[in-house]
Chains A and B, each alone.
Chain A
Amino acid sequence: MMHWILFGPEIYYFLAAILFLGVSMAGRPNPRRDFFTALILAAVGMLVGLATVRSEGVLFFEAYQVDLFSQVFKVLLTMGLFLVICLCSELDGVEAGHHPEFYLLLFVCTLAMMMLVSSVHLLSMYVALELSSYSLYVLVYLRRGRALGLEAGLKYFLVGITASAVMLFGMALLYGTIQATDINAMMRVLPGLTDRPIVVIGLLLTLCGFFFKLAVFPFHFWAPDVYQGAANQVTTYIATASKVAAIAVLIRMVAVTGEGSRYLAQALVTLAIISMTVGNLAAIVQKDLKRLLAYSSIAHAGYVLIGILSMSLDGYGAAIFYALALLVMKFTAFLVVVTVADDGRNLEIGHLAGLHRRSPLLAMALMLAVFGLAGIPPTIGFTGKLLVFTAAMHKGYFALVLIAMINVVISLYYYLLIVKAAYLLEPKEELPILAISPPMKMLTGALVGVMVAAGIFPHHLIELARAAARVLR
């Protein structure tokens, strides 16, 4: 009986999804009802996630492991879902009739990602990954005015299944070599074999599925189109929760190699450098804010990889901390996008003009978020970067850290363009003051507070991230 409590959060999200399945089949659309139901369910879900953060155990013939690592990520995922649903009060990017399906898919996707972070078996990992990906394919497609959503959804789907195929091939190679599909079993066998070419290739190909999720080069080119084509709220979800899950599995898979493999590390170094550079250079010329944030996500995937490829406790801890930081910062940036683009349209950087007068709070939140993304202290983004770079430096990657810092300076240019748009540019015609509801104001204020406070007092979060990373050994 105890075992089922371990699976509690997942069951909860499953039931919530079923509820929305029922709603979607019943009668006339009622967006307000759907929104409040989803909001309450997600809020309770977050509490459920928090309540089970300390639980530990193994389920389903050792294919499913509940530990601090997975639970911390589950809290982040439930938090991500809750935050995204907070933005759905004016869900104009999706047709009203499709709102129940929209929430259904969001809950299913979150459920799949929660299973993903707990999976310790290649097959369950694969199934969870596909479940989350397929929900997202449909979510992207749900955009009102099909042309944009269709193109984005199709592109996402094609890249996604290619990555999945490559990943399956990698898993097959691994299984063929070491006759194990269980992460814990692999952990016992692999460390001695990590310098064998077939193992390195198998691991790398397996990681491709997660590279796709995280938008690491060479599986990054879906990101700009999907970010642009999907409804703003869906983009927010892809940019926050889905990245968090990808970081989690990447950490788990790389940690399998124990002390780490030289070749694997070198491959990851290369990917990290290319991701950062490609992302940052391409972001400079973007006009559409969501495209710009997509490229900045690609760059951040590179920074996260630096922590992961350090293959040390500090490195994994840093990556976990970075996942949290990314979640908060990216979400804040998208909150501004969603609020300013109140009719669900896409937002160009120029449309931010005059934001400092239309809503000083949003302008400040946006500024802090992009400065955080740029890694400027005293924000949570800086702490994340410091941890990641310190971990890499411990492993002697001096040049890598230097290149990453140069990338930070490049990225600052386009982040400053955003700040400039919000604070300096004046709109062509006078725009009204943005009406923001009091709960949204509180949420924005809370996010601002978290970004700064976690930058100044990071101690407990760092300890938590390290404790979570320690489970992997």
Chain B
Amino acid sequence: MNMQFADFPYLTAILLCCVAGLLVILFTPEKHATRIKWVSAVFSGLTLVLSTYLFCAYDKSQGGLQFVERIYWVPSLGIQYFNAADGFNLPMLFLTGLVFFTGVLTMWELELRVKEFFALYFLLVAGVFGLFMSMDLFFLFIWYDVSLFPMYLLIAVWGSTRKEYGAMKLTLYLLAGSALILPAIIYLVVHSGLNTFDLTALMQPHTFTPFQQKLAFLLFYVGFGILAGVWPFHTWSPVGHVAAPTAVSMVHAGVLMKIGAFGVLRVGIFLCPQGWQYWAQLMALLATVGIVYGAFVGLSQTDLKFVIGYSSVSHMGIVGLGLATVTVDGLNGAVFQMFAHGVMTALFFSSVGYIYDRTHTKMIGELGGLSRIMPVASAFVIVAALTSIGIPFLASFWGELLVFISSFKVYPVRGALAVGALVVSALFMLRVVQKTFYGPPNEKFAHLPDVSFGLGLPRMILIAVIVLFGFFPSLMFDMIATASIPLVNGLP
């Protein structure tokens, strides 16, 4: 087997941490629940350290693909185990590590079938990591499905609120997406005549005719778009998020939906740039509808998790709008928004999950005045809400700003509509905060304790990251630009 490796295979090491964690958990007896949690924390912490290291060690002045690892896996089919890091996937890897680790800490109080939960959780995250780092279409698709199929059990066993319905709907929707992606991948690989699944080889200009690009891009856009919550394929997402247990909601809204947007970018836009330009108008339209729709449907929700779920649809619309602009700024904004929204939603679900675990309700009407009962937990949710609104110096602000500026230039009307919808959602979010955390406290919950330090830690880490990138967005933008500028300049 021919191989090609950088000095140390950091990317594979991340995957191996997941696999090793999975195996150790599988061979730990069920009764040692605490040990399983510590093992999970250690291995997920390792992935966070590794992905943070990669984020810092990437040489921005050089750009391009770095930390390349390549094994020729099935030569006869042109399948390679090919991982690399660039400006697009490093933020996503960092995000995954962050959400993974904080997710484990968030689930520290879990008691039901602990071993199975963490085993499936590790499998899920392994798929996510693999997808983000893979530069080979075959492996990318495998990781995509690996990250989907634990979801069914994770939601159906540990979830709440119509969990079996939510789990089935989510799984079928997402696999319907993969039913479009796989034919498109095979179509492109077969028609390239190169007998390879290597993305970098397939993305050379003039590999595909404009017609092939348009057809394949549409399939990729719809297939991955389902996962990204693109309107009108989003209906699984609020239902699934509400049904899922806290850590899974975090990974799901925080990372899995980004997989969809990332897939459109990595596979659709990389391979079919002409298809991208051709369908950009449609993408912008659907994205705008998603932003407006998510904001207005969110208005009428009474369940806290549904509010976040619909705000996710709206925020992912912003990502879609950024991708649809076909500009460097739009791309930068979109990828930044993917990262910021990931951290923000993880914080949101994590904090709301804490409140739900204590009060056993997510209904806005039944809560009230929580800031007097559990001030710290409330503060976490409020920070998440403010980030979601897009307050300056919190991470999301920069992503949204950039997307809106660039979309005004390309699609003035749609851009204006989107901004308008965001103002509406901001007003609503503030009302939710006011109703839930201020006003007269509900006597029923007066005895409940506030967040302990251990349980507060994951939320604090997430807040720290939000603030860090809120004050120093260029840390992220410089990174993304190393990938987005060559991509847009290379357009035919």
Contacts and interface: CB of A to CB of B under 8 A. Distances in A.
Interface of A: 356, 371, 376-378, 382, 386-387, 389-390, 393-394, 398, 401-402, 405-406, 408-409, 412-413, 416, 419-420, 423-424, 458-459, 462-463, 466
Interface stretch (B180-188, B271-279, B367-375): B180-188
B146 interface: yes
B98 interface: no
Nearest to A371: B149
Contact of B145 (A377, A390, A394, A466): A377
Interface string B137-169: 010011001100100110011000000100010
Contact of B168 (A389, A416, A462): A416
A390 B175 contact: no
Nearest to A385: B182
B73 A389 contact: no
A382 B164 contact: no
Q: Which among B157, B180, B186 has the highest number of chain A CB atoms within 10 Å? A: B186
Interface stretch (B5-13, B74-82, B89-97, B315-323): B74-82
B141 A389 contact: no
Contacts of A405: 179-180, 182-183
A285 B266 CA distance: 39
Interface in B227-241: none
Nearest to A420: B156
Contacts of A356: 116
Given A382-B145, A420-B156, A458-B74, A393 B183 contact: yes
B156 A459 contact: no
Contacts of B74: 458-459, 462
B76 A462 contact: yes
B172 interface: yes
A378 B142 contact: yes
Given A394-B190, A419-B153, A423-B157, A401 B176 contact: no
B429 to A, nearest CB: 35
B189 interface: yes
B176 to A, nearest CB: 5
A420 B179 CA distance: 22
B186 A466 contact: no
B455 to A, nearest CB: 28
Given A390-B189, A401-B183, A402-B183, A376 B76 contact: no
Interface in B177-203: 179-180, 182-183, 186-187, 189-190
Contacts of A378: 142, 145-146
B153 A459 contact: no
A83 B143 CA distance: 32
B47 interface: no
Contact of A420 (B116, B164, B186, B190): B164
Given A382-B145, A424-B157, A458-B74, A398 B171 contact: no
Contacts of A406: 176, 179
A377 B147 CA distance: 10
The 9 A-B pairs at the shortest CB distance, nearest first, are namely: A405-B179, A377-B142, A393-B190, A459-B74, A393-B186, A401-B183, A377-B145, A409-B176, A409-B179
Contacts, number: 81
SS class of chain B's interface: helix, strand, loop or mixed? Answer: helix
Contacts of B179: 402, 405-406, 408-409
Chain B interface size band reads 20 to 34
B186 A386 contact: yes
Given A393-B187, A412-B172, A424 B164 contact: yes
Q: Which among A377, A412, A423, A463 has the highest number of chain B CB atoms within 10 Å? A: A377
Interface string B54-89: 000000000000000000011111000000000000
SS class of chain A's interface: helix, strand, loop or mixed? Answer: helix
Nearest to B153: A423
Q: Which among B157, B172, B175 has the highest number of chain A CB atoms within 10 Å? A: B175
Contacts of A419: 152-153
B404 to A, nearest CB: 36
Contacts of B116: 356
Contacts of A420: 152, 156, 164
Nearest to A413: B172
B223 to A, nearest CB: 10
Contacts of B187: 393, 398, 401
A398 B77 contact: no
A466 B75 CA distance: 13
A146 to B, nearest CB: 40
B174 to A, nearest CB: 10
B386 to A, nearest CB: 38
A459 B190 contact: no
A462 B172 contact: no
Contacts of B145: 376-378, 382
Given A377-B141, A377-B142, A412 B175 contact: yes
Contacts of A390: 77, 186, 189-190
A75 B490 CA distance: 53
A445 to B, nearest CB: 13
Nearest to A387: B77
Nearest to B219: A402
B76 A389 contact: no
A405 B179 CA distance: 5
Nearest to B163: A424
B189 to A, nearest CB: 7
A284 to B, nearest CB: 12
Given A377-B146, A389-B182, A416-B168, A466 B76 contact: yes
Contact of A413 (B146, B168, B183): B168
A399 to B, nearest CB: 9
23 contacts: A371-B149, A377-B142, A378-B146, A382-B145, A389-B183, A390-B77, A393-B186, A393-B187, A394-B190, A401-B187, A402-B183, A406-B179, A412-B175, A413-B172, A416-B171, A419-B153, A420-B152, A423-B153, A424-B157, A424-B164, A458-B74, A459-B74, A466-B76
